[in-house]
Amino acid sequence: MNVIIERLRLPGLFALFLMWSFPLLAEDTFYRDDLEEVFRTHTTDGTFVLYDVSKDTLTVVGATRAGTRFIPASTFKVANSLIALDLGVVTDEDEVVPYGGKPQPFKAWEKDMSLREAIRVSNVPVFQEVARRVGLGQYQRYLEVLAYGNQQTGTDVEHFWLKGPLEISALEQVRFLASLAQETLPISSKSQKAVRDILRTDHSGQSTLYAKSGWTNTPSPDLGWYVGWVERSDELYVFALNIDIHSRSDAKLRKQLAFEFLSAFGIF
């Protein structure tokens, strides 16, 4: 697909949201409503946000949805890992954390494992053990420090990122991940380096992909995420995609559509 980027005038409210979401970020913003056909082709709705750090440009497919907050689901494992490591409740990314010994929906989760392994298989019970170690009070403090989404934890430390009330938009995901990719979050550099390392998933030529998926069935329809960034030489591209998931077979569309957009823009 050949992509020609055109500068478009954004709707007033959306432009104001961008100003709030990206202070000192994105000199230029491009609204690509022509690419929303990609979602319709796969019989779903969604948004894709791309921030080119080197050129300081933001490209948005599905503007209204880009600013809508959704439950982060397993994409919160990125922030969760940062918080756990920064607090020291997990010594390092290779410390083995117990899953609790109970039957799980997936056999791959029925195993004690490190954050490095747990983030790759998206092991919920391991991260729930991490959550109990962190506690709601510390989460509240870190969500505010990281300016993560709506910064709400509610009262259930094991499910607030899986069922709510924590929510985050695609634009906010990109802002958060851009800071992590550049190691400029207001927490220890050591923690950021460790999480960057465990998010590395793919390598193609000179490009390296760092990414995390997510899936929540609260509320209906289900929602899927695929977020991360691509490093290529001295270039950095940060992205966030979310889509409606209507059946289990749609789960594969998270990564598939993200790659389709990244390929369309000649990034990966």
From 21, 74, 169, 191, the catalytic residue: 74
Q: What gap in Å lies between CA 50 and CA 17, rounded to an integer?
A: 16
166: how many CB neighbours lie within 10 A of its CB?
25
Among this protein's residues, is 74 annotated catalytic? yes
Q: Are 197 and 93 in contact, with CB atoms under 8 Å apart? A: yes
Question: In this structure, which amino acid lies at residue 253?
Answer: L
Contacts of 127 (CB under 8 A, 6+ apart): 77, 80, 118
Exposure pattern of 235-254 as b/e (b: 16+ CB <10 Å)?
ebbbbbbbbbbeeeebeebb
108: how many CB neighbours lie within 10 A of its CB?
14
Q: Which residue has the tokens 């990719």?
A: 181
193: how many CB neighbours lie within 10 A of its CB?
12
Supply the DSSP string of 145-157, one letter for each residue: HHT-TT---TT-T
Q: What gap in Å lies between CA 110 and CA 4, rounded to an integer?
A: 47
Tell me which residues are annotated as active site.
Answer: 74
